[in-house]
């Protein structure tokens, strides 16, 4: 056995960038904004090494539209930003969804609204999971809670984007992006540099634009003026979304069999919630945790299943309460749902969550 270490330390932002490269991403366009700057910085160094393209765009709008073009040309493409920048990208994300183009968008969330601050937050949940831009569309949203999971979900994001021809959002926060954690050595072999790597080899894209040689011209569009044409296009999109809902729900459950109180949290918040759960259980309070991994599609089933059996769900978020709305929809009025959250870059502590648990347990 090799003496080489199996794990190494890396920040969340850099890990996401390298994971994207390993997943075959060969186009990245971005714009500086804290706390995600390590992603473009890393990409600027790494992309040329693997024959890919890095562009520091003049704006978030330009960045997402460059990704739109690169994706249409058949390459795995990604952009990243943080909350205010993601707001600017919404137009492009809507066009990606409307044209059914795959792309990965990383949002390392910070406090809002407005310029807010640069501290970790989870206040873009609505924007990410409910559409975000104009029109009836959905993005698949994946929420890692560790740096290792950020690596795994970034790779998954590219596969899902291609599989469904749909934008996928990796939703992290400033804590996840900035902190260093050990991750397993990337398993994929180092890719040789060169032009041939620009194209994604994982999937034959019969819609990509490459020039109409020996085939009919291809048109990528989201404008449909004929009567009923757009409605049919939208029905096809909705059918796709139903398929995603039936196949791509992901969550992690802890102590769901015997708990009276179930905490619900995702991303960074889930790590704190898990600690609170452990401590509560050490005091004999039966507490469990549901950690949604896919925020859209939202993993509703475990909530409904547990609704008759438990005393209370306690949703904990680094926001004023956003995911709680999906939890309430999931329980269909059959369970009480409480909330505890903080905003503006403050993270609810283990002690604060324990206090809430104690109040409920009385």
Partner 1 sequence: MKKNKQKFFSRPESMYDRLTHYCPGCGHGIIHRLICEAVDELKIREKVIAIAPVGCAVLAYDYWDFDCIEAAHGRALAVATGIKRVRPENIVFTYQGDGDLAAIGTAETIHTANRGENLTVIFVNNAVYGMTGGQMAPTTLLGQKTATTPRGRDNKNEGFPLKISEMLAILDGVKYVERVSVSSPQEIIKAKKAVKQAFQNQVDGLGFSLVEVLSSCPTYWGMKPKQAMDWIKEVMAKRFPLGRLK
Judged by the rule CB under 8 A, the positions of this chain that interact with partner 1 are 26-27, 29, 53, 55, 57-59, 61-63, 65-75, 77, 91-92, 95, 99, 198-199, 209-214, 217-223
Q: How far is the CB of 91 from partner 1 (least distance, A)?
A: 6
Closer to partner 1 by Cβ: residue 145 or 166: 166
Q: How far is the CB of 100 from partner 1 (least distance, A)?
A: 12
DSSP result, 260-318: SEEEE--HHHHHHHHHHHHHHHHTT--EEEEEESEEES---HHHHHHTTT-SEEEEEES
Q: How far is the CB of 240 from partner 1 (least distance, A)?
A: 20
- How far is CA 146 from each of CA 160, 239, 314, rounded to the nearest angstrom? 20, 32, 22
DSSP result, 20-85: HHHTT--EEEE---TT-THHHHHHHHHHHHTT-EEEE-SSHHHHHHHHHHHHHTT--EEEEE-HHH
Closer to partner 1 by Cβ: residue 67 or 151: 67
DSSP state of 198: G
Q: How far is the CB of 43 from partner 1 (least distance, A)?
A: 14
DSSP, collapsed to helix, strand or coil, labels residue 107 as strand
Closer to partner 1 by Cβ: residue 42 or 68: 68
Closer to partner 1 by Cβ: residue 97 or 306: 97
Q: What is the dihedral of CA 142, 54, 75, 93, to 10 degrees?
A: 50
Q: How far is the CB of 203 from partner 1 (least distance, A)?
A: 15
Closer to partner 1 by Cβ: residue 45 or 218: 218
Closer to partner 1 by Cβ: residue 211 or 308: 211
Q: How far is the CB of 226 from partner 1 (least distance, A)?
A: 11
Helix pair 38-49, 12-22: axis angle to 10 deg: 30
């Amino acid at each position: 056995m090799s003496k080489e270490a199996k794990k190494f330390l890396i920040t969340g932002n850099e890990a996401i960038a390298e994971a994207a490269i390993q997943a075959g991403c060969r186009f990245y366009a971005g714009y500086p904004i804290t706390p995600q700057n390590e992603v473009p910085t890393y990409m600027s160094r790494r992309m040329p090494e693997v024959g890919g393209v890095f562009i520091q765009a003049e704006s978030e709008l330009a960045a997402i539209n460059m990704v739109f073009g690169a994706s249409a040309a058949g390459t795995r493409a990604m952009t990243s930003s943080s909350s205010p920048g993601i707001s600017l990208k919404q137009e492009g994300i809507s066009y990606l969804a409307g044209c059914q183009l795959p792309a990965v968008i990383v949002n390392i969330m910070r406090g809002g609204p407005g310029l807010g601050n640069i501290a970790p937050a989870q206040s873009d949940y609505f924007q990410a999971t409910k559409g975000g831009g104009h029109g009836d569309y959905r993005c698949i949203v994946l929420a890692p809670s560790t740096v290792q999971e950020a690596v795994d979900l970034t790779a998954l994001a590219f596969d899902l984007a291609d599989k469904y021809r749909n934008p996928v959002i990796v939703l992290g926060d400033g804590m996840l992006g900035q902190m260093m954690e050990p991750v397993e050595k990337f398993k994929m072999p180092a890719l040789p540099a060169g032009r041939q790597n620009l194209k994604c080899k994982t999937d034959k894209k019969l819609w990509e634009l490459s020039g109409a040689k020996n085939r009919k011209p291809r048109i990528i569009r989201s404008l449909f003026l004929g009567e009923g044409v757009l409605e049919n296009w939208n029905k096809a999109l909705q059918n796709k979304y139903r398929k995603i809902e039936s196949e791509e729900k992901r969550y992690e459950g802890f102590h769901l069999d015997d708990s009276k109180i179930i905490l619900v949290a995702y991303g960074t918040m889930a790590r704190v919630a898990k600690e609170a759960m452990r401590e509560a259980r050490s005091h004999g309070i039966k507490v469990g945790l549901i950690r949604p991994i896919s925020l859209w599609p939202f993993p509703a089933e475990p909530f409904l299943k547990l609704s008759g059996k438990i005393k209370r769900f306690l949703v904990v978020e680094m926001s004023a309460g956003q995911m709680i709305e999906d939890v309430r929809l999931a329980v269909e009025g059959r369970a009480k749902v409480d909330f505890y959250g903080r905003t503006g870059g403050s993270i609810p502590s283990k002690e604060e969550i324990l206090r809430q648990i104690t109040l409920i347990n009385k």
